[in-house]
Amino acid sequence: MSSSNQELPSCQREWKASSASSIAGTGDDAVTVISYNILAAIHIKPRGYPFCPTGFRETLERHPQLMVELRHHDDADIVCLQEVETDYYHQTLLPELQKLGYHGVHHQKALGIREGVATFYRSERFRIEKQETGHFKDWIAEKLVGEQIDADLREAIKSRAEYETPILLTSFTCLKTGRPLTVANVHLVWQTHIVPDLNTLQAALALQRLDEFSTQDGPCIMCGDFNHQPVMPGYQLIRDGCLDNESRMHLRKFPLFSGADAKHGKESCLVDILPKWFCHSFKHFKSSYAEIQGEEPPFTCFTDNYGPQWIDAYTKHNRLDGFLEESEESSDPPTPRHFPLKVMDSSLNGSIAPPCHIQTLDYIWYTAEKLHCLGVEEVVKKEAIAPFWACPNQVFPSDHLLMKAKFAFRGL
């Protein structure tokens, strides 16, 4: 790992080692994995992320900051990224990472959304054996063919599943140990306040397909942006293998609406219609951060999509110093793009209500019976972000934070 950028806020992170490090060793056999949602610019609305200065909003503008982080973590063997724009991947990111010794695979989202997931691997360390790409909406449509359910209900389920979310599966052979390793790079549906049942089902289907795709009895890692917090059913299902009563009851609050339901005056829920779909067969699937730290990070996403409190405070701050003209005060809600940038200091940021979206949404899961987790890199402290209010900004290139874990094969 490079030390030249250690003083940058985005690189001020501590390594948290496991006691297993002394058992499994930390030498050449260790495998280091990164997962990072890098924020596709196509999702930045004109008035979104108002705290993000002009010049740091487009993907190519944030690319140098991203590369600072990836070069700092140059010990990574596998890098799983989400929200990687298709043109950016082919024209910029892949060529640059190839210079650092990586090969890559990209899978675009469905429904014409020109971003997706990308998995990079060090060619001197791993040989790719096979890959599989998919979209959860298509998998659900395929699985429904074998289900004996009402046609209206079938269409309601397909409508509920009509999101662009992707998954990329890659199977590798470790060139140092000869061991297989299968990696799933996922980006699950984000509207868990509307479709938590679909988010949970996608998590289950991802693990089912990972189990089918992986080399028999080989170790597996699943990482990405899961878009659910540790208290949500999707997380509980991944951890435990099936839904508990609390999760099941929660998901029943989000019924489908089909013609058959309207006709019979009832409500149908995914979790009751397709109960066998909400499970997976991995027996010891663990979260690397929870295993090492005893709990998940306090946040992996630190942002405020529209930041009304920030806009108000920023406007007053700049008006006092003569940065706002009277004509601008009556225009559209101000952002840094309406007048010269004057970043507020951390003490002023601290006087505003905290950003709205401080959540834990990203994870690196692994098969604990096949892999030791040797350690994880703690996320940056809130104090490192405070001077910039939230992410992205001129230092942090995404609204999410980089996740990093190190593993060793068991039985070597």
- pLDDT of the residue at 328: 41
**Residue 35 to residues 80, 81, 226, 309, 355, Cα–Cα distance (Å):** 5, 6, 11, 31, 23
- pLDDT of the residue at 311: 77
Q: Are residues 373 and 327 in the same domain?
A: no
Q: Are residues 253 and 383 in the same domain?
A: yes
- pLDDT of the residue at 184: 99
- pLDDT of the residue at 389: 85
Q: Please classify residue 83 by burial: count the beta carbons closer than 10 Å to its beta carbon, then call 0-12 exposed, 13-18 middle and 19+ buried.
A: buried
Confidence of residue 348 (pLDDT cuts 50, 70, 90): low
The answer to whether residue 337 scores a pLDDT higher than 70 is: no
Mean pLDDT of 272-294: 97
Interstrand relation of 31-37 and 78-85 (parallel, antiparallel or unpaired)? parallel
- pLDDT of the residue at 319: 58
- pLDDT of the residue at 353: 64
59: domain range? Answer: 9-305+358-409
- pLDDT of the residue at 241: 98
Q: Are residues 59 and 89 in the same domain?
A: yes
For every residue of 99-148, DSSP letters joined together read: HTTEEEEEEE-STT-SEEEEEEEETTTEEEEEEEEEEHHHHHHHHHTT--
Task: Please tell me the total count of domains within the chain.
Answer: 2
- pLDDT of the residue at 330: 36
Helices 136-144, 196-213: crossing angle, 10 deg rounding: 80
Alpha carbons within 13 angstroms on the beta-carbon side of residue 201 total 27
Distance CA 58, CA 42 (A): 8
- For the chain, percent of residues with pLDDT exceeding 70: 85
Confidence of residue 398 (pLDDT cuts 50, 70, 90): very high
Q: Are residues 195 and 240 in the same domain?
A: yes
Q: Residue 135 has which token pair? A: 């979209």
Q: Are residues 344 and 368 in the same domain?
A: no
- pLDDT of the residue at 48: 87
Q: Are residues 88 and 103 in the same domain?
A: yes
Distance CA 42, CA 348 (A): 30
Tell whether 4 is covered by a domain: no
| CA dihedral of residues 158, 160, 166, 171 (deg, nearest 10) | -60
Mean pLDDT of 170-185: 97
Tell whether 25 is covered by a domain: yes
Pick from 33, 259, 69, 68: which is nearest to 159 by CA? Answer: 259
Pick from 16, 4, 15, 25: which is nearest to 412 by CA? Answer: 25
Residue 294's region, left for phi above 0, alpha for psi from -120 to 50, else beta, is: left
Q: How far is CA 86 from the centre of its chain?
A: 17
Tell whether 168 is covered by a domain: yes
More confident residue, 398 or 29: 398
Q: Tens digit of pLDDT for each residue in 214-259?
A: 987 899 999 999 999 999 999 999 999 999 999 999 999 999 986 6
Mean pLDDT of 269-286: 96
Tell whether 2 is covered by a domain: no
Q: Are residues 403 and 391 in the same domain?
A: yes
Tell whether 1 is covered by a domain: no
The answer to whether residue 195 scores a pLDDT higher than 60 is: yes
Lowest average pLDDT, out of 176-185, 294-303, 339-348, 384-393, goes to 339-348
CB 166 within 8 A of CB 107: yes
Please report which residue ranges of 1-58 form alpha helices under DSSP H. 21-24
Q: Are residues 319 and 371 in the same domain?
A: no
More confident residue, 383 or 248: 248
More confident residue, 59 or 24: 59
The answer to whether residue 18 scores a pLDDT higher than 50 is: yes
Q: Are residues 258 and 316 in the same domain?
A: no
Distance CA 371, CA 222 (A): 13
Mean pLDDT of 314-339: 49
The owner of tokens 């140092």 is: 176
- The chain-wide mean pLDDT, for the chain, equals 89
- pLDDT of the residue at 26: 54
Q: For the chain, give me the number of helices (H) and strands (E)?
A: 16, 15
The DSSP 8-state label assigned to residue 344 in this structure reads P
Q: Are residues 322 and 219 in the same domain?
A: no
Confidence of residue 320 (pLDDT cuts 50, 70, 90): very low
Confidence of residue 80 (pLDDT cuts 50, 70, 90): very high
Q: Are residues 344 and 380 in the same domain?
A: no
CB 167 within 8 A of CB 203: no
Lowest average pLDDT, out of 102-106, 318-322, 328-332, 333-337, goes to 328-332
Q: Residue 94 has which token pair? A: 């892949």
Q: Are residues 246 and 335 in the same domain?
A: no
More confident residue, 113 or 305: 113
Report pTM. Answer: 0.91
- pLDDT of the residue at 27: 62
The DSSP 8-state label assigned to residue 268 in this structure reads B
